[in-house]
Structure 1
């Protein structure tokens, strides 16, 4: 059944999404967050369970992230040039389902007793395969399909919220249960491999379902625009155009900073729990107490967006996160402060997690209005480039700071400088990132002009 007519949104733009569409689309975020969150735990796994040096691990992970970031640009161009009858985006979800499962397991099968050079080569190759190949081949089409699926800002915002809910649920499962479950299974490398198999099967199944339920239906992108339009924009020219789109540049920087913060939080929490609070199992408590503000955030992000706009909601959330970090800086050893401020910092991340992808995709219409070229794939891939560099820097900062502080996983106790390093990546650096992001969101005013832009595009197309 077709169901009741969907009507138009508050800006007068035709809606295309029903509940089943949102749920099927949102499920695609699950494998992406599985891969991202597991990568966030790799520094701890490599140093504590395999015995690799923290500084070398950090360098290998950053090298993989740089390869990953540049592969985004290539993938965006490949996607824009695609001519499959299934669409530009959908085929990639099916193609990557099995490779995603295989590489997730391979991350944790490092040959433990092999020579150091072989171990590091294995770490580098498996991380490049996961991040630069599999993750990129899913993430770029998945981000771009939002612009092809609907041109309604409201629907894109809801897609962002649903995607974030799916991703956050699996992220919280990893944050809360990964360490306790692997410890319960023996705490060794074999325990991590067993858990990775479960996540691998779940990821493959989610990508199969995403392929079956996703569609590419936006008339503006899929029907009215000639199929070869994107092919006529040379790679260097597309990059030049994007850097002249001030809103895209803002989102490039936002994605860079958000992912530095994300890399620090996902990779640093276990170290904070173990060496500052005294028990690595406390990472489950820290993750669990974040559930309440997270659910509250999901509930009110819609009303916040309606009242303040996407950029306004993100700016307020960044300021909340900054205040929470200031309080933690004065009482860094207090578990009460860590938990209490964690409630607010967890809440602060929700609007940004939900709304940055729609804000990037809104830049597609600005490209069309300014240049006559939508560049859907390049808009998402080049912006993702900043995100990948950011997550690489965030994860690597942990290893580098620990190495500079004299951290040794095999030692019975750590020098006091290790605590300072942990405070840096858990409190001080995130504080600065929140402040800078608040300034950037303040400068993003595209929503004020969006209806005018869409109206001008429709008039332009009607006049052809």
Structure 2
């Protein structure tokens, strides 16, 4: 079944006299006098519309998202730890690298989205990118966690900057079209939201693979190699990157063969100079900009996962008494403690995050996106503050329930923001007659990378504030022992997974309060959009 929709035509000129204006959720909305558009109900009307996708297609798309999750998670969860404590790169360099790469993404991501919107390659508008990008992404992922032997620090910084920046560019070319695909797979907003929800859940499960590998290799590798300390860490990360890059890319590639693009948009006509540019359309789309603001302010939520390994290395120790042990035994005990604590953090965050993702489809049936995000983020804020207090006065084990609760917004935002962007693009098309799908989706890609970069920057700044020099510590003590680190430094590192994420979740609710594309207004947009598409010549063909 194909739906052909001309994109660049303006919507039909409306007769102002044929509409009544009414106030619905704070906006003056137009309603036909013939009563053809019903807005009396808050129930999402797309839930009762026709579905176009089978369960197999939805789950195969979700499986591919899981493969992508493996690759992205090895970068997002461990790149700061690898750069600072394994590659031993200067903290200031890592900070500037994160900021520079994100400044470039501010240009690269929208540019990629604009190109994808304009180009119509053979095999589909979005699917071909899924076919051609996995191999370069896999290669760059491996080399991002590979330290060339004998390389000088200056050359290592150049090498790391090139690989990290180039990885981000190629990943964008893969990520933006992939998450734009649900918009082309179905015209039904509810079915699109369901597809994204399932895909983001499986993506989250895939992101747990590097964490599991880290834990397993911490137990297995000591029996297979005599390397210790930093050299052991290099081997560990290199193996994790290799496995995730190969396995994740193969799984991601399957979506090219198992999905269909049903909403086919023909090549757009040349834009009239009097029409706004695609970038201007995005910047003037209020719902979309509010989602972007929410995502940026919620960047601290990534710290629960990204900073866990740093907290495990510097804040807590779980294991046998170290006094009297040999250097080798101490290294093994510290590595085991680090892996255990990091795994506990990741498992707890996974319980909160995946638990929320699994419940979301049912919540979507009863509540709108706005309510779900606000309630979950405020709950996460309260749990984070409680965890901060407990972490100071009590033990690590007492923090576990609060880690779980504070991780709930991770799952909620990671899924719901994509659905909100889809609705915002519906709003843009309804209001302007144009739909910049890939460009709109590129905002989410940029938000994700910016969020992880800001989280990494917070970590680096914490190192700088407390004058933590991993290379100096290893050179003098042979290993990083949290029991020998001052309590204020240990607690300062702990706030990365407690206080800062909580403040971030509180702040992100501010723009959401102004997001009004819900209930009656959303129903009006969907109803009017369906009429506009029909009047502009949408053709549905049975296959």
TM-score (norm 1): 0.90
Tell me how far 1:431 sits from its aligned partner: 1.3
Tell me how far 1:444 sits from its aligned partner: 1.9
Asked if 1:65 corresponds to 2:105, the answer is: no
Q: Counterparts of 2:276 and 2:468 in 1: how far apart (Å)?
A: 43
Provide structure 2 residue ranges, at least 5 long, that are not aligned to the other structure.
Answer: 1-43, 223-231, 318-336, 478-483, 537-543
Pairs within 5 Å for 1:266-277: 266-277=305-316
Structure with the larger helix share: 1
Tell me how far 1:23 sits from its aligned partner: 1.0
Classify 1:294/1:380 alpha carbon distance in 2 versus 1 (closer, same or farther; 3 Å): closer
Task: State the partner residue of 2:61.
Answer: 25
Asked if 1:47 corresponds to 2:84, the answer is: yes
Pairs within 5 Å for 1:363-374: 363-374=424-435
Task: State the partner residue of 2:286.
Answer: 246
- Does the CA contact (< 8 Å) of 1:293 and 1:346 recur in 2? yes
Tell me how far 1:294 sits from its aligned partner: 4.1
Among 153, 168, 171, the alignment partner of 1:131 is: 168
Task: State the partner residue of 1:209.
Answer: 254
Q: Counterparts of 2:246 and 2:90 in 1: how far apart (Å)?
A: 31
Among 189, 192, 205, the alignment partner of 1:169 is: 205
After superposition, the C-alpha distances for 1:386-439 in whole angstroms (9 at most, x for unaligned) are 333222111122112212210021414445553354134222221111112223
Among 459, 462, 466, the alignment partner of 1:401 is: 462
RMSD of aligned Cα (Å):
2.4
- Does the CA contact (< 8 Å) of 1:176 and 1:285 recur in 2? no
Task: State the partner residue of 1:75.
Answer: 112
Tell me how far 1:46 sits from its aligned partner: 2.1
Higher relative contact order (CA 8 A, sep 6+): 2
- The secondary structure found in structure 1 opposite 2:240 is helix
Among 423, 426, 442, the alignment partner of 2:497 is: 426
After superposition, the C-alpha distances for 1:80-103 in whole angstroms (9 at most, x for unaligned) are 011213111000000102112111
Q: Counterparts of 1:50 and 1:20 in 2: how far apart (Å)?
A: 43
Q: Counterparts of 1:206 and 1:233 in 2: how far apart (Å)?
A: 43
Classify 1:241/1:298 alpha carbon distance in 2 versus 1 (closer, same or farther; 3 Å): closer
Moved over 4 A (4+): 8-11, 229-236
Number of aligned residues: 450
Tell me how far 1:227 sits from its aligned partner: 2.3
- The secondary structure found in structure 1 opposite 2:310 is helix
Classify 1:291/1:378 alpha carbon distance in 2 versus 1 (closer, same or farther; 3 Å): closer
Task: State the partner residue of 1:5.
Answer: none
Task: State the partner residue of 1:344.
Answer: 405
Tell me how far 1:344 sits from its aligned partner: 0.7
Tell me how far 1:361 sits from its aligned partner: 1.2
Among 525, 537, 540, the alignment partner of 1:453 is: 525
Among 69, 75, 87, the alignment partner of 2:124 is: 87
Q: Counterparts of 1:234 and 1:76 in 2: how far apart (Å)?
A: 22
Task: State the partner residue of 1:442.
Answer: 513
Task: State the partner residue of 1:227.
Answer: 267
Q: Counterparts of 1:386 and 1:394 in 2: how far apart (Å)?
A: 12
Asked if 1:380 corresponds to 2:380, the answer is: no
Asked if 1:280 corresponds to 2:338, the answer is: yes
Q: Counterparts of 2:139 and 2:368 in 1: how far apart (Å)?
A: 41
- Does the CA contact (< 8 Å) of 2:134 and 2:253 recur in 1? yes
Task: State the partner residue of 1:3.
Answer: none
